[in-house]
Amino acid sequence: MYLSYVGLRVRDLPRSVRFYTEAFGLVPVQPEELARMEPTAVGAILLRDPRSGLRLELNYYPPGNSYAVPYVPGEELDHIAFRVDDLPATLERLAKLGHPVERMAHYNGPMAVTPHFRMAYVRDPDGIQLELFDAPGDGTYSPDAY
């Protein structure tokens, strides 16, 4: 298991991408996603610091989305993501510790399953949202992948 990235909720995705790339030199992990980015649609762009390898995911939720809650200064942290080796086993262990998986509003169930990954959300003791995901592969860290 390793800390994969930190997700920041933003109010304008293209504006925030420009800011973090121009002001801090972060680069898109998957540049082709920029071409598909729609300013008014749910979106996420993963940026990486080329020097440190640290990653920042910018998340946008349009009005009407269940995650588009009013902003309170200082609460723009969207979530922290951990890549895990076995998502179902990790969720079972966390549930036994009193941290059950949350229902995902935009998926039909507690865990999203796609051809590329499985993900779910739990909360830490202070209510911070944690994304947990696993993906095909040997789990080796790469700064160019989630």
- The answer to whether the beta carbons of residues 21 and 27 sit under 8 Å apart is yes
- Going by their DSSP bridges, the two strands 112-113 and 55-60 should be labelled as unpaired
Yes or no: say if 24 and 4 are a contact pair by the CB < 8 Å rule.
Answer: no
Backbone phi and psi for residue 6, each to the nearest 5 degrees, phi listed first: -115, 135
Given the residues 22, 75, 76, 131, select the one marked as catalytic. Answer: 131
Q: Exposure of 28 by Cβ count < 10 A (0-12 exposed, 13-18 middle, 19+ buried)?
A: middle
Query: Checking DSSP bridges between strand 43-48 and strand 77-83, what pairing results, if any?
Result: unpaired
Question: Is 102 annotated as catalytic?
Answer: no
Q: Which residues are catalytic?
A: 131
